[in-house]
Amino acid sequence: MKNDCIFCAIAEGEIPCFKVYEDDLVLAYLDINPCSEGHTLVIPKAHYAGLLDVPDAALGEILSRVKKVAAHIKEALPCDGFNILQNNGPAAGQSVFHLHFHIVPRREGGEPLSFKSGKGDMAALEALAARIRL
Ligand code: AMP
Ligand code: ZN
């Protein structure tokens, strides 16, 4: 547990939450500022700041729980689809620095999540892929 971390405090039961699911590894609860009805956060009980901080084996287990909770929400609400979002760093909109996955239920005809995009320049994309290729 990290002292000044609100999600650690929620995982410890020191701060209440609207719990959806819990097991040894994760806790899932409603986001208090929902993007849609059923917007849920899945957090590991252990503190990791973000995606690059969690060991691969733990990440795999956490993602299996994200899938489990999302599948359950899709049936229980219901909804037509869902987005999984996971922000890393302030520039990406991360505001709580304890790894968490957003499950955002979506309905046909609902407002689209806005990812503003432009038409890519093929030559620039080719150069960029070469630059960042693993
Ligand atoms: P992010 O911007 O990806 O770091 O997301 C953090 C999310 O945590 C935001 O959507 C907040 O609404 C949500 N949040 C912050 N505090 C709480 C809380 N006490 N209970 C539930 N959700 C919270
Ligand atoms: Zn934490």
CATH number of the domain that residue 96 is part of: 3.30.428.10
DSSP code for 6: H
> Any catalytic annotation for residue 100?
yes
Q: Of the listed 47, 98, 100, 102, which one is catalytic?
A: 100
Model confidence, pTM:
0.95
Summarised one tens digit per residue, pLDDT across range 92-106 is 999 999 999 999 999
Task: State residue 2 phi and psi, 5-degree precision.
Answer: -100, 130
User: Rounded to a whole number, what is the distance in angstroms from the first to the last CA of the chain?
Assistant: 34
Number of folded domains in the chain?
1
The range of the structural domain enclosing residue 34 comes to 2-132
Summarised one tens digit per residue, pLDDT across range 62-95 is 999 999 999 999 999 999 999 999 999 999 999 9
CA 98 to centroid of ligand 2, rounded, Å = 5
Q: What is the DSSP string of 37-93?
A: TT-EEEEESS--SSGGGS-HHHHHHHHHHHHHHHHHHHHHTT-SEEEEE---SGGGT
